[in-house]
Structure 1
Amino acid sequence: MVIRFFEDLLGVLFPEFARQRYSDREALKNRFTELKNEFRTILDHNIECAKSGVSGLEDQFFSELPNIRARLILDINAMYEGDPAARSTAEVIRTYPGFYAIAAHRIAHCLLNLGVNMIPRIISEHAHRETGIDIHPGAQIGDSLCIDHGTGIVIGETTIIGSYVKIYQGVTLGGLSVKKEDARKKRHPTIKDHVVIYAGATILGGDTVIGENSIIGGNVWLTKSVPAGSKIYYQAKMTNASGETDTITFK
């Protein structure tokens, strides 16, 4: 029920993704009303929401949808502009795993901020299964996120990502090993604006901050902060047949 609701909602927000077409604005308005009723039913079946007795959650959530859509349009444009292979924004919406993952996240994050817990995790884990991109609903992500390819990306619960950030496949924004009692502390890194993180990079720790306009190269492992404008690259070593080793720094 939750997954069907999420995908139907995404289809109303973006007709390119929809399973059905709406003849006019009145039909679209009626579908929104139906979805709101479906969401109310989902909330009624969510034990946490039922116990809390909080009313009006469906109205609060649906009032946020214009803002969610506006932010997703920025993400779509960032992916279109950031990928030379993209032929149109419609292609991004219909085929790009990065769009599906960030759409799921923006909806799940909104629900989490409204005090709903289980439903956001169901949505985010569904997107994880569908795309191979694992974004915790608690992660704070700014505008115009570009996810390129995306497979294997992991973004932890307390991660903070600024605006105009580009992330390639296999990137981990994770936490160092901590005790269970530290679960409420910030455990994941902060990525400032205009940062590019290339494939396979791993950035760990709640105190780790990547300064704005930095470039983090492929396969880099970071547990310490870097200042704005940094370029961090992996240092490769090559061994020839005689056993001699040459160190090559890629710049």
Structure 2
Amino acid sequence: MDDFIINNICQTGRQNASEYRKELPKAINTILASMEDDRCFAHIGDEPIHFSTSVKEMIDKFREILFPGYFSSEKIDGANIVYNLGQGISQLYDILSEQIIHVLRHDCLRYGQTCSECKNSGNDVALKVIQEIPNLRISLAEDIKGAYDGDPAAKSHDEVIFSYPGLYAITVYRISHILSNLGVPQLPRIMTEHAHSLTGIDIHPGAKIGEKFVIDHGTGVVVGETSIIGNNVRIYQNVTIGALSLPPDAGEKLRGAKRHPTIEDDVIIYSGATILGGETTIGARSVVGGNVWLTSSIPADTKVFIESPHLIYKYQKTQEEQNHEYQV
């Protein structure tokens, strides 16, 4: 194609693009007019909402402190551990307090709340969370041991820490649960939804979960806000611990009510199981089989399985066998 044709095509393309762009001011005015529409939502003139990058930075810094040496950019040994951890904890405190102050100020201004003295409150809550880190490390150590002990595919505790999505989701949950209990708005849910986006595991920060909690594989797991889960519980992929079907106005009627099940100690829930309802309790040491649907309680030491399906096997003849029949 010679230069004349190429230049002509390019010039025509630029002219066409210019014609389309002339329509943009009209579209912009229409969109701006929609900002006055009460049926829609806008966040104009208020404190900005968190960006996921800052939340990710905070979670990464938490993991550096909770698992020293695993996620650090440099080697940690006896010569630098005091300096390294001291600096990391100081940085975490600054990031965390800033995030907490931000959400407190956001809600105060946006919803016209009584002044929460957000700076003092944020610093106070951040310090309380930092002070909980030793207990967090113990809880997570039990989660790691539970994952390793129950999974023959796990070659070491290190493998669980480095690569198991279930542990990542549980780590973020345990941090966000502390923040939720301390009354921090928005941030706990933003954190667990970040973990959800990475792992496919959706744990609400309001759920109450005991020690040695294991999520094996994990994709598609849902744990609702008012769930109560005991110690040494193991669940597999695509398990839902959720609420029963809700009416259209459930938000106002049931907000704060117990809507999700209670799972007692030493329960195993296999893949695809769905357990629903705030009055549903799975008794201790019970086993819920794959694809089971439960909306009522079962007593302790119970096994619930679906009856084996009736399978149909159809033999598909090979092309050679079909040709042989044709020749005969």
| TM-score, L = length of structure 2 | 0.71
Counterpart among 17, 31, 44 of residue 71 in structure 2: 17
Q: Which residue of structure 1 lines up, in the alignment, with residue 156 of structure 2?
A: 88
Question: Residues of 2 paired with 1:237 and 1:87: CA distance?
Answer: 35
**1 or 2, which has the higher strand percentage?**
1
- Percent identity, aligned pairs only, is 46
Q: What is the SS of the residue equivalent to 1:238?
A: coil
Q: Which residue of structure 2 lines up, in the alignment, with residue 249 of structure 1?
A: none
| CA apart distance, 1:21 | 3.7
Question: Residues of 1 paired with 2:88 and 2:235: CA distance?
Answer: 35
**Ranges of 4+ aligned residues in structure 1 off by more than 6 Å:** none
Q: Which residue of structure 1 lines up, in the alignment, with residue 173 of structure 2?
A: 105
Q: Deviations over 1:123-142 (max 9, x none)?
A: 10010011010000001000
Aligned 8 A contact 2:204 2:224 in 1: yes
Root-mean-square deviation (Å): 1.7
Question: Residues of 2 paired with 1:20 and 1:122: CA distance?
Answer: 29
Q: Which residue of structure 2 lines up, in the alignment, with residue 248 of structure 1?
A: none
Bigger drift between 23-32 and 70-79 goes to 23-32
Q: What is the SS of the residue equivalent to 2:70?
A: helix
Q: Deviations over 1:194-248 (max 9, x none)?
A: 0000000000000000000000000000000000000000123315479xxxxxx
Question: Residues of 2 paired with 1:194 and 1:25: CA distance?
Answer: 39
Q: Deviations over 1:54-83 (max 9, x none)?
A: 251111111111111110000001001111
Tell me the number of residue pairs that the alignment of Structure 1 and Structure 2 aligns. Answer: 242
Question: Residues of 1 paired with 2:143 and 2:297: CA distance?
Answer: 26
Question: Residues of 2 paired with 1:19 and 1:98: CA distance?
Answer: 23
Question: Residues of 2 paired with 1:61 and 1:113: CA distance?
Answer: 11
| CA apart distance, 1:188 | 0.3
Q: Which residue of structure 2 lines up, in the alignment, with residue 205 of structure 1?
A: 277
Question: Residues of 2 paired with 1:126 and 1:103: CA distance?
Answer: 12
Bigger drift between 199-208 and 170-179 goes to 170-179
Aligned 8 A contact 2:66 2:136 in 1: no
Q: Does 1:59 align with 2:127?
A: yes
Q: Does 1:48 align with 2:139?
A: no
Please list, as runs of the form range in 1=range in 2, the aligned pairs for 1:1-251 lying within 5 A after superposition. 1-14=54-67, 15-22=69-76, 23-46=80-103, 47-48=106-107, 51-53=115-117, 54=121, 56-178=124-246, 179-180=250-251, 181-238=253-310, 240=312
Aligned 8 A contact 1:196 1:214 in 2: yes
**1 or 2, which has the higher helix percentage?**
2
Q: 1:170 to 1:19 in 2, by over 3 A?
A: farther
Question: Max radius of gyration: which structure?
Answer: 2
- Where does structure 2 lack aligned partners over 5 or more consecutive residues? 1-53, 110-114, 315-328
Looking at both structures, which has the greater relative contact order when contacts are Cα pairs under 8 Å and sequence separation is at least 6? Answer: 1
Question: Residues of 2 paired with 1:133 and 1:10: CA distance?
Answer: 18
Q: Which residue of structure 1 lines up, in the alignment, with residue 20 of structure 2?
A: none
| CA apart distance, 1:177 | 2.0
Q: 1:127 to 1:241 in 2, by over 3 A?
A: closer
Q: What is the SS of the residue equivalent to 2:145?
A: helix
